[in-house]
Amino acid sequence: MQQVQHQIRRGPIVASLLIAAFVAILSQTVLNVALPTMMKDLNISESTIQWLITGYMLVNGILVPISAFLIERFTTRQLFLWATGLFTAGTIICAAAPGFELLLAGRLIQAAGAGVLMPLMSIVFLTIFPIEQRGKAMGMMGLAMVFAPAVGPTLSGWIIEHYSWRVLFYVVLPLTLIGLVFGAFSMKNVTRTSFPKLDIPGVIFSTIGFGGLLYGFSDASTDGWDSPRVIVALTAGVVFLVLFLWRELRSAKPILEFRVFQYDMFSLTTVINVIITMAMYSGMILLPIFLQTIRGFTPLDAGLLLLPGALLMAVMSPVTGMIFDKVGARWLSVLGLAITTVSTYELTRLTVDTTYNHMLLIYTIRMFGMSMLMMPIQTAGMNQLPRRLNAHGSAMSQTLRNVAGALGTAFLVTIFTNAAASRGKDLAIAAKLNPQDPANAEAMKEIARQATVYGINHAFTVAMWMTVASLALAFFIRRTKPQEEFQPATGSPKAEPVAR
């Protein structure tokens, strides 16, 4: 590895990966503000349109563990070009899609490319940078990963206000083409290749397991939690995830290395990051819906509301990294989660008259709290892993974050739609209104507005309790060092090193 680190020019490789990662994350976030407009244009519901977000994240979650096999099987350059090429093809399909079905197919193809690009970037960075420079390298990754969400919503809002939502994909297309062409000339082979055997049963189990859970959560918003389809999907998801876990623990070369959870601090920080990721998407998805459908703001206004918070996260990324080096992750995350909890509580009290400036302030404060969490907490957990498990820990963290984002979005949208529907029925019954009577149309519109606000507040209440749970767990974070030597545990001849 030292030989690889000294012989290659890191700059062009890093630039290629950062361009591709920026475009992939931009594409993931650029649709958030556009969802209400796309719902009207395509004549579909909230529970259907959110598949453009959750489907994207689910495919990412499925492909991240498979990418470990792909990175061993193919050269760095081959994998980069194939992944970027897939993303480009998906972007073209989305731009030309006449309806929702083909649009979703294009998004899933985009996600297939992005699902390989992100873990490839992590592993290449771990390979080409020595340990003493990895903090700086991860800081560059973090900056790219938060700058795209900063640009995405505002760009989306401006385009939706002036042009068709299809222009969103026409804007992304030249960027991904630049990344593809630049990478074709600058990407070098830095990882070792072999001919590992793909664990096909493991792939099937993970796909059905994660897919079943997501489908069940998403479909519950329309069919209800007692629907046979929802029950079957959730049951299948749980059963196949248990089978996947059993398969991976028995495999000599697992797709996803679950033994990283033998390290207590990695396990704790992963749980916290999963909860935070689920809570974070509540604001990104629900606030644009509230602003446009209840308050009547334009898509650009909705995007501008999200911009300061996202920019603040980008600015704070290197700052929190320096603070982390001095004080560790515990008090940084406790402070960040306290701010996030209080600001999320404020979002549980929205009304039809809540002002734009009030929401802008609260959301920006919320993202300031979030800026202290993601990278420091993840780094605190990764620091405990021995060097040989760095790639496995990175893959596991990213897989769970992607799946948490997908499930969190589906879960919170389901909470929102179910609470709004129930509230709407109660208000109509209390007012003794017949929804089918044309004379009650205006009154029913007002009831729908009140019910929607109630549903959004209810979803934010659930998100708030998620952050409270994370805050309680954050007090147990401690500093650790990589466990480089084996320390056999009692009764285990080949035990992994025990964290101290």
Q: Write the DSSP assignment of 234-280 as a string of letters.
A: HHHHHHHHHHHHHHHHH-SS-SS-GGGGGSHHHHHHHHHHHHHHHHH
Q: What is the pLDDT of residues 266-301, one digit of tens each?
A: 999 999 988 988 887 767 778 877 887 788 787 777
Give the per-residue pLDDT at 132: 57
Please report where in the chains the tokens 């035990």 appear, as a residue. 495
Provide the token pair at 293. 């459908």
Alpha helices in 290-389 (DSSP H): 299-327, 330-346, 356-370, 374-382
CB-based contact 478:330 (threshold 8 Å): yes
- 256-483: same fold as 1-195? yes
| pLDDT category of residue 198 using cuts at 50, 70 and 90 | confident
Class of domain 256-483 as given by CATH = mainly alpha
| pLDDT category of residue 344 using cuts at 50, 70 and 90 | very high
CB-based contact 411:217 (threshold 8 Å): yes
1-195: CATH number: 1.20.1250.20
Q: For residues 25 and 36, what is the distance between their CA atoms, to the nearest angstrom?
A: 20
- pLDDT for residue 339 is more than 90: yes
CB-based contact 124:8 (threshold 8 Å): no
CB-based contact 341:370 (threshold 8 Å): no
Q: What is the pLDDT of residues 394-449, one digit of tens each?
A: 778 877 876 777 677 778 888 888 888 888 888 877 777 666 666 666 777 778 88
Q: How many alpha carbons fall within 13 Å on the CB side of residue 7?
A: 8
For 131, counting Cβ atoms within 10 Å of its Cβ (0-12 exposed, 13-18 middle, 19+ buried), the class is: exposed
% of residues, the chain, pLDDT over 90 = 12
Give the per-residue pLDDT at 471: 93
Q: What is the pLDDT of residues 434-466, one digit of tens each?
A: 666 666 667 777 788 888 889 889 999 999 999
Q: What is the pLDDT of residues 116-157, one digit of tens each?
A: 887 787 777 767 776 556 556 666 676 666 677 667 777 777
Q: For residues 135 and 426, what is the distance between their CA atoms, to the nearest angstrom?
A: 54
Predicted TM-score (pTM) of the model is 0.73
Give the per-residue pLDDT at 496: 41
Domain boundaries, the chain: 1-195, 197-248, 256-483
